[in-house]
Amino acid sequence: MIKDNLRQVQRRIKAVDKNQQVTLIAVSKTKPISDLQQAIDIGQHHFGENYLQEALDKIKALENQNLIWHFIGAIQSNKTSQIAQNFDWVHSVDRLKIAKRLNQQRSDNLTKLNVLLQINIDNEPTKSGIFPKQIDDIIVHFSTLPNLTLRGFMCIPNPDNAKQSFAKMANILKKYPNLDTLSMGMSHDLELAIENGATFVRIGTDIFGKRG
């Protein structure tokens, strides 16, 4: 079932990903390790997790499988140390304080932590993320954070206007030629996201099924 679902998602991506630029992140929050193993068995290497302790258990159990782990959930200050030490990518940096803590707590013997700024692209007061007008003020600080590599942006758009929001994100990325990553698109809108320049899509339900 999971293997069939994963292959179907891969076909959907391939149908619109003309430049072969898109990496599929399997969002495995709340799912057992046995489910992840089914995806790994057919070549899935990128996994996204929202809940830190659950993710750490999976990372330890699967540590010999050469996986790439993405933290995509909300980040509390008291969780930054373990995120910094155990993940390859962090998609949900939404304030400078968090970036500074991740930088301070990333060990020098590890490769740089890949970071995305979470953008509140629709300026919704109830959503996390940096407002577009704040981006410049935050990006300038990354030159002082040697253990991080700022790669680009992540967003979760309002579904009522996802197409326009994805297009706005693509235009934002173009302003920063040193950045190369847009994390956007989930099970219901991955095609729209890819058409507008997504390089990561985060797919959970259409691979693993709905959360119980």
Residue with structure tokens 């929001």? 165
Cβ pair 208, 10 in contact under 8 A: no
Residue 143 has a pLDDT of: 96
Q: What is the mean pLDDT of residues 65-71?
A: 97
Q: How far is CA 153 from the centre of its chain?
A: 9
**What torsion, rounded to 10 degrees, do the Cα atoms 41, 47, 53, 56 define?**
60
Residue among 88, 162, 69, 77 nearest 121 (CA): 162
- Indicate the number of domains in the chain: 1
Q: What is the pTM of this model?
A: 0.97
Q: Identify the CATH number of the domain in which residue 146 sits.
A: 3.20.20.10
Residue 135, helix vs strand vs coil: helix
Alpha-carbon distance of 117 to 130, in angstroms, equals 7
* Amino acid letter for position 114: N
Using CA atoms, how far residue 95 sits from 168, 188, 203, in Å, is: 20, 28, 25
Confidence bin at 172 (pLDDT 50/70/90): very high
The parent domain of residue 202 ranges over 2-208
